Amino acid sequence: MGPVNEQESPVRLAAWVHGQVQGVGFRWWTRSRALELGLTGFARNLPDGRVEVVAEGSQNNCGQLLAALRSGTSPGRVDQVVERWTAAKGGLEGFLER
């Protein structure tokens, strides 16, 4: 392993997924993709019908998750994904369906 400063700092991706994404296995599917990428975080239903996805890990892996959310291969129907990138806050273990 090289010096620590060669590793990129972890990031936090928050994504709000609009469409028909509740009650169709979307959170389970998102959790599976996130775990494959080694991300921590959660996916939860919001009262207005959106799903909120919060994931932490490398910028590259979070970007791959975001691309998967937009890929059209998820259960249900995704109309729009709104994203926000911030520095990782930590404190997340595993990837949960909330």
Catalytic site positions: 27, 45
Burial 53-91 (b: 16+ CB within 10 A, else e): bbbbbbeebbbbbbebbeeeebebebeebeeeeeebeee
Measured distance CA(11)–CA(1) in Å, rounded: 21
**Is the Cβ–Cβ distance between 44 and 98 less than 8 Å?**
yes
Q: How many CB atoms lie within 10 A of CB 11?
A: 18
> Helix or strand or coil: residue 58?
coil
